Chain A
Amino acid sequence: MAFESICDMMRSLVHSQSKGSDMLIKKPSLLTENDVTPQTDFENSRATISASRRRFLAQSSMALLAGGLAPTSLWAGNKIEGYTKSPFSTTEKPTPYEYVTTYNNFYEFGTGKSDPVVTSHLLKTKPWSVTIEGEVGKPGVYDLEDILKRQQLEERIYRLRCVEAWSMVVPWIGFSLADLIKQIEPTSKAKYVEFTTLYDPEQMPGQKRQSLKWPYVEGLRMDEAMNPLTLMATGLYGEEMPNQNGAPLRLIVPWKYGFKSIKSIVKIRLTEHMPKTSWNIAGPDEYGFYANVNPKVAHPRWSQSRERIIGAPLFTPKRDTELFNGYGEQVASLYKGMSLNRHF
């Protein structure tokens, strides 16, 4: 390494320590209880977002100097390194990268499929913090980098079925939501997990229109959240998550319609009561809380029995939709004794 860059790092280290030492002490961590940011600091954390970026840079330098594990390995370029391959992956051929990253439903950036790829550059994903609250032993505002340091990243190739009757196969990179939930220590009252997307119309221009109720909220029952298939994704195709796909952190629930897999998450809240979710508020008869993929339960206005395959040649017949999107073996037991028609 060049001598100059080491000097630069030393300078930035000294600089950050003299300027922001109080913040370093407050840094939330999933490892030590003392490090957790008190709830009351949540409001402040939004205002000091640039300060937190400085803090992150300073710490990266420190880690490098100490010869420790640098989180920069995750953010060094577009590539994500050090992930394993998951046995949960489908053997189906992934949808081409071009389509996965240009055909997106992400109404925060507009209701058209090609809106997100055009406008999502406005979203600033670094630094990013996630508020953990509700029925947990370790509430706080956590830096995403800090959360990620504790997770084992895996590549999982999952089928994705949209409620609009099309489907894709996407090689996600992420970690098991169950691991994160265990780390934040749910209380006995935690029955549901509620997720919230960033609300900032300047960064998400689609929020200037009241198409859905903002911010976007989604939720899972606790056992659904703890299912090993449920993924918190940070990337796809071996790269950091593109903004239009829900960077920097999104949920993937492969046996449910795509709208359940909330994007750009800023808050995870464990609750006793079923969360009020955005699409369910927009159309309670059309978009249920469960939203399990089911060819036998039609949307009130269209059939769900078959799906168009994204990226397939023109004369490709539609694919028969499978119950639980083909993940019944892992998840059917979650809904034993429940009417899938009533709890759609």
Chain B
Amino acid sequence: MARVKLSKLQWGLIKTPVSLICLLPFAFITWDAVNNLLGADPIQTLHFRTGDWTLRFLLITLTMSPLQKGLKSPIPIRFRRMFGLFTYFYASLHLLVWLVLDQSLSIDNMINDVPESPYIILGLTAYCLLTPLALTSTAGMMRRLGNRWTVLHRLIYLIAILGVTHFFWLTKLDYQEPLIYAFVLVILFIFRWPMFKKLLAPKPTNNRVSS
């Protein structure tokens, strides 16, 4: 594989505009919130907009590795961590909207709402699983964890399934939107089929975390 030799500064110059683009949805959402443009049901609007961008960035992150193989270029993988962290950024906003606006930071409200709403349980689980991935995303952590890093970060597949199911489970009747996310996710999983097959193959010595 041909290696593109770029200095740290050059990579920085490429990544900065990309990350600014990734912040555009946040800028638009903030603008609408400040200017009272979120419509009739602002809490719901914020839930949907931050949730949509979480799923979109999650799928974009999962596109990088097939893209690398398809293009035979290392460039997509250089962006994978950034997209992954933006996934976590929008997921955190999504959670914050729920905690502050939907639950008014009240433990009583949460104790009542969470058991009654299975989709919230799924969402919270997905967020809890995403947090260690964000925390171990640095180069130092990658080095330190070595092989275990790869195993740990396979959690992203489970998180993606939880995230899309979370959307399905809160939807009333019209499944068009969650189906689009599910469709893209299935395609991304098909690209990984050889890897999944290998992982799922019975191996007595296999570490359980990887299955």
Instruction: Check B173–A305 contact: CB distance below 8 A.
Output: no
A-chain residues with CB within 8 Å of residue B119 when the two chains form the complex? 301-302
> Contacts A282-B173, A308-B44 known; A103 to B39 CB distance under 8 Å?
yes
Chain A proximity of B132: nearest CB distance (Å): 28
Instruction: Check B173–A166 contact: CB distance below 8 A.
Output: no
Instruction: Check A314–B41 contact: CB distance below 8 A.
Output: no
Selected from B40, B116, B173, the residue in CB contact (under 8 A) with A102 is B40
- Assess whether A298 is interfacial by the CB under 8 Å rule: yes
- Assess whether A24 is interfacial by the CB under 8 Å rule: no
Binds A, one of B7-15, B55-63, B82-90, B101-109: B101-109
A-chain residues with CB within 8 Å of residue B104 when the two chains form the complex? 317-318
Instruction: Check A315–B101 contact: CB distance below 8 A.
Output: yes
Residue of A nearest to B174 (CB): A111
Instruction: Check A310–B102 contact: CB distance below 8 A.
Output: no
A-chain residues with CB within 8 Å of residue B172 when the two chains form the complex? 163-164
- Assess whether B118 is interfacial by the CB under 8 Å rule: yes
11 A–B contacts, CB within 8 A, in A order: A103-B40, A282-B173, A283-B173, A301-B118, A301-B170, A303-B112, A303-B113, A312-B42, A313-B36, A314-B42, A318-B104
A-chain residues with CB within 8 Å of residue B116 when the two chains form the complex? 298, 302-303, 305
Residue of A nearest to B118 (CB): A301
- Assess whether A212 is interfacial by the CB under 8 Å rule: yes
- Assess whether A306 is interfacial by the CB under 8 Å rule: yes
Residue of B nearest to A99 (CB): B40
Q: How many angstroms from the CA of A282 to the CA of B42 in the assembled complex? A: 28
- Assess whether A19 is interfacial by the CB under 8 Å rule: no
A-chain residues with CB within 8 Å of residue B170 when the two chains form the complex? 301-302
Q: How many angstroms from the CA of A305 to the CA of B115 in the assembled complex? A: 12
> Contacts A303-B113, A306-B109 known; A166 to B174 CB distance under 8 Å?
no
B-chain residues with CB within 8 Å of residue A318 when the two chains form the complex? 43, 102, 104
